[in-house]
Structure 1
Amino acid sequence: MVSAIELHGDPHVARYIETDGEEGFHWRNGTEILILFTTGRKSGEERSHALIFREYEGAYLVVASKGGAAAPPAWFVNLSANPQVEVQIKGDRFPATARVATAEEKPAMWAKMVEAWPDYDEYQTKTDREIPIVVLDRN
């Protein structure tokens, strides 16, 4: 069996959902993971992604970094088209509304996310696009 810290992509999502986060919530370097469910903007099908998150003032933050790639991750494009998403944290799955952090909010939120995953700062240096922080507000 693969260690929870080695999980990535679809296998990570599957183990997380099967175990209500018992496997997959705690990940590499002390990070915590949520599952974000979006609706495919073309297919209309549910898509799911395991993402590093931090709780922040009653909301949940995730970073649309894609490792510093020039294009944003597909999940970000999907939630930009339809901000009504679902989030699962451990065994709790709930509806949420996604939005991009404002310019005023972002510095404090970015610091919080870099604290969780320092590589985000490096990812930003790899791309000309501004990597957004996505705020997930529970409905």
Structure 2
Amino acid sequence: MTSALELHGTPHVDRYLETNGEDGYHWRNGTTILLLFTKGRKSGEQRTHALIFRPWGDGSYLVVASKGGNDVAPAWFLNLEADPAVEVQVKGDRFAARARVATPEEKPGMWAEMVSAWPDYDEYQKKTSREIPVVVLERV
């Protein structure tokens, strides 16, 4: 069986769901993973993504829409722009949330927190002229 540290995409999501995050919550370089459930903006079907996150404030979570520094935003980000009502799962806790982009005033501190989780985010930003957003997931 492949270690969860080596998983990406659908296999990572599947393992996380099967084990309520026991296998898949902890990932590479000490990072932690949540699952983000969005509604496909074209298909209307549920889409699930395993994303590096950090807790923020009282019950919110931060994720970064980096796509490795690609000039195009990740599909999950485009989905939540179309419909910010999402679901989030952290280990076995699945809940409704509202997604929003960090304000210009909030972003520096939030970006620093996310870079502490995954230093490559700074490198990803250097690779693209697109401003990589920090997304705040607020429990509703």
C-alpha deviation, 1:4, in angstroms: 1.2
Q: In structure 2, what is the Cα distance between the partners aligned to 1:2 and 1:70? A: 31
Give the structure 1 partner of residue 10 of structure 2. 10
Deviation at 1:41, TM superposition (A): 0.4
- CA offsets per residue over residues 63-108 of structure 1, 9 Å max, x none? 0000000000000000000000000000010000000000000000
Summarize the alignment of residues 1-139 of structure 1 with structure 2, pairs less than 5 Å apart. Answer: 1-58=1-58, 59-139=60-140
Query: How does the TM-score come out when normalised to structure 2?
Result: 0.99
Q: Which segments of structure 1 move beyond 6 Å, counting only runs of 4 or more?
A: none
Counterpart-to-counterpart distance in 2, 1:88 and 1:7? 17
Gaps of 5+ in 2: none
Aligned residues: CA RMSD? 0.3
CA distance in 2, matches of 1:17, 1:109: 27
Q: What TM-score comes out, normalization by structure 1 length?
A: 0.99
Aligned positions, number: 139
Output the CA distance in 1 between the equivalents of 2:49 and 2:4. Answer: 15
SS in 1 for 2:38: strand
